[in-house]
Structure 1
Amino acid sequence: MLAAFQGILLGSALMTSGPVSGVAADTGVDGAALYRGKCAMCHGPSGAGRTGNFPPLAGRVGQIARTDAGKAYLAAVLLNGLHGPILANGQSYNGFMPAFRMLSDDEIAAVVTYAAGLGTASTGIALSDVASARAQPMDAAAIGAKRQALVASHGLP
């Protein structure tokens, strides 16, 4: 498992292709650069994901970010990580996403806003969404419960 993770890290260091725009207007932070450095190693340069391990982001993050509950969920996932089984676009995934709490609120807002635009025209999340999520750290069970509540109330792609 460690070798596989090291391979993912090496692959991310070598990755040079992918989306090239994505400066979030309200932060001035380059969401595209953050995506390439932090997300593309697992979710792919275009956000297509990897079957069974890492769900696609393209076309999904923008849909999730359309509601306040969805924005809160996205910010919570970025800050606290996610692991265990989930369903995305009807496909099961059982991967691991690390927490990115070390990123600033500006950086998280920029990378989510960039990911929200992969495959769809959409808005992302605001700094206030990230600040609210940062003030309420969550464990894996709480993130799972938040996801289930979102599925029940709004559905998730």
Structure 2
Amino acid sequence: MGIATGRMASVLRGGCLLACMALLGACTRHGQEGYARYRTNCGICHHGGEGLKGEIPPITGRVDRIATSPEGRQYLMHVLLNGLNGPLKIDGVPYNFFMPAFRAHLSDEEIASILSYLATRGDTHPAPVFTAAEVARERTHPLSSSTVADERRRLDAIHPLP
């Protein structure tokens, strides 16, 4: 009985190890895809995620916190799909800029991978994960980039956004 129990424990450890390796591999592929999409579509302005004070808002360490509420998740998808235009205040710093819409340039999966990647760049554990299905639902309701800025101001008044 002791030998059988030892073998079973060994098999279970091996199975757990394989499952963990598969999960980590999937996360890495998703993270690499999100990073690649971010780099080619967002990184040109947002740089490494730190932005440019007073001109381009930082996004590192913010997306994960905004995504903790359903309204915040929706807002983040609206930003990528519809763009963002208008004066905003982020962490006390005023920004008045224009971010283009990616609705016509990126698929639902690509937008989900960018947002999921950015969510990993914060302190929220586990990091929020966005799905293509969520983005597809939001895609059906086009908004102006000014309306998205108004949405941010409304959310910020309810519970301050980072």
TM-score interval, normalised by the smaller of the two chains? 0.7 to 0.9
What residue number does 1:136 align with?
141
Distance 1:93 1:36, change over 3 A: same
Output the amino acid matched with 2:156.
V
Report the alpha carbon displacement of residue 22 of structure 1 after superposing the two structures with TM: 5.6
Gapped regions of structure 2 (runs ≥ 5)? 1-26
Q: Could you tell me how far apart the structure 1 residues matched to 2:55 and 2:28 are?
A: 25
What residue number does 1:12 align with?
none
What residue number does 2:160 align with?
155
Report the alpha carbon displacement of residue 50 of structure 1 after superposing the two structures with TM: 0.5
Higher helix share: 2
Taking only aligned residues, the RMSD between alpha carbons, in angstroms, comes to 1.8
What residue number does 2:10 align with?
none
**Partner-residue secondary structure (3-state), 2:53:** coil
Q: Could you tell me how far apart the structure 1 residues matched to 2:40 and 2:145 are?
A: 24
The total of aligned residue pairs comes to 133
Higher Cα Rg: structure 1 or 2? 2
Contact 2:50 2:57 (C-alpha < 8 Å) held by counterparts: yes
Q: TM-score, normalised by structure 2?
A: 0.75
Distance 1:88 1:22, change over 3 A: farther
What residue number does 2:66 align with?
64
What residue number does 1:7 align with?
none
Output the amino acid matched with 1:114.
Y
**Partner-residue secondary structure (3-state), 1:115:** helix
* 1:10-25 correspondence runs (5 A): 23-24=29-30
What residue number does 2:55 align with?
53
**Partner-residue secondary structure (3-state), 2:97:** strand
* 1:17-96 correspondence runs (5 A): 23-24=29-30, 30-45=33-48, 47-96=49-98
Q: Could you tell me how far apart the structure 2 residues matched to 1:140 and 1:23 are?
A: 31
Gapped regions of structure 1 (runs ≥ 5)? 1-20
* 1:108-127 correspondence runs (5 A): 108-121=111-124, 122-127=127-132
